[in-house]
Amino acid sequence: MELSILIMKQLLVMFSLSGIGFLLAKLKLISNEGCKELVNLLLYAVIPLTVLNSFLVEKTPEKTQLLLYSLLLSLAVFAVSMLLSYIIYGKRKRVENFSAAFSNAGFIGIPLVQATVGPHAVFYIAGFVAFLNIFQWIYGAYVMGAERRMISFQVIAKNAVLLSFITGFTLYLCDLGNILFIKDIANTVANMNSPLAMIIIGVYMSQISFMRMLQRESSYICSLCRLFVIPLASLGLLAVIPLDCYEVKVAICIVLSAPVGANVAMFAQKFHQDYTYAVEIVILSTLMSVVTLPLIVYAAQIVL
């Protein structure tokens, strides 16, 4: 219960940060172009360095074992997430399918794990974030209607988060995690993750009609799939997998229960789907997560 309360407090803090972005956008101090540049800063520098920073630790047999467990568990919950999304939506509702399948692990999941479980726990979810970026460009691009040539190894291999995961994993295996120069830079940039991500979410909020968003039934259904149905199914799977790694399972539970990933808006725009609707789902699910995330984490504390 203590962790659930901490999650709720942290979500309220993060929503306060989003208010800064909302206000700046309404005052026209941040333009749409400026927001895109902030997104690029987050996607290509801050989140990758946050992932890299998580690997800059001393190598131990216990950490290595927990890392392997986290990779296996991440693959398992992604299988559940994509399977359920496809069963519920198929390719007839492309934006909803993508939205239900992928959480906002980078913008919201990582900051929540840092604040509640601890900065060290980002190490346990680094694989989840890397797989998220891979599957968004395979499964996500497929359901969004991308041409086959756009779903290629070259595109995936150039992904900044994946490259940072591979670099960090290599540094960890070579036990080079205590190189102070790299660690200081990565740690400093990683501290930007939560405020920058939520300021961007606030700018997104300023771009939509709240009245239209609240009146659209399909947005609620999709948000409930992302925030409740898929996390509960994944939690059931985590509970029956006989691996003794409670903290790893809780960290993964937090990131998989995060609201709809902001990338759905970017993919919708890229593949000529309904961008505005995608943003509405992101915002609605983010608002609803203040209630659902603490409940899911509370359930995780009971069953794991």
Contact residues for 13 (Cβ-Cβ < 8 A; gap 6+) = none
pLDDT in tens, the chain (304 residues): 677 788 888 888 888 888 999 999 999 999 988 988 888 898 889 888 988 888 888 889 999 999 999 999 999 999 999 999 999 998 889 999 999 999 988 878 888 898 888 888 988 998 898 888 888 888 888 888 766 666 666 767 677 888 888 898 899 888 887 776 788 888 899 888 878 888 988 888 888 888 888 889 999 999 999 999 999 999 999 999 999 999 999 999 999 999 998 888 878 877 888 888 998 999 899 889 999 999 999 999 899 8
Total number of domains in the chain: 1
The residue among 224, 260, 286 whose CA lies nearest residue 17 is 286
The residue among 107, 118, 151 whose CA lies nearest residue 11 is 107
- Identify the pLDDT of residue 151: 61
CATH of the domain at 95: 1.20.1530.20
Buried b (16+ CB within 10 A) or exposed e, 82-93: bebbbebbeeeb
Dist CA 136 CA 139 (whole Å): 6
Q: With contact defined as beta carbons under 8 Å apart, do 267 and 144 qualify?
A: yes
Dist CA 140 CA 98 (whole Å): 6
- Identify the pLDDT of residue 245: 92
Dist CA 109 CA 248 (whole Å): 14
β partners of residue 260: 103
Domain carrying residue 280:
2-303
Position of tokens 């172009």?
Answer: 33
Length of the chain: 304
Span 92-109, pLDDT tens digits:
899 999 999 999 888 788
Cα–Cα distances (Å) from 97 to 82, 119, 155, 223, 297, in that order, read: 8, 31, 22, 11, 24
pTM for the structure as a whole:
0.87
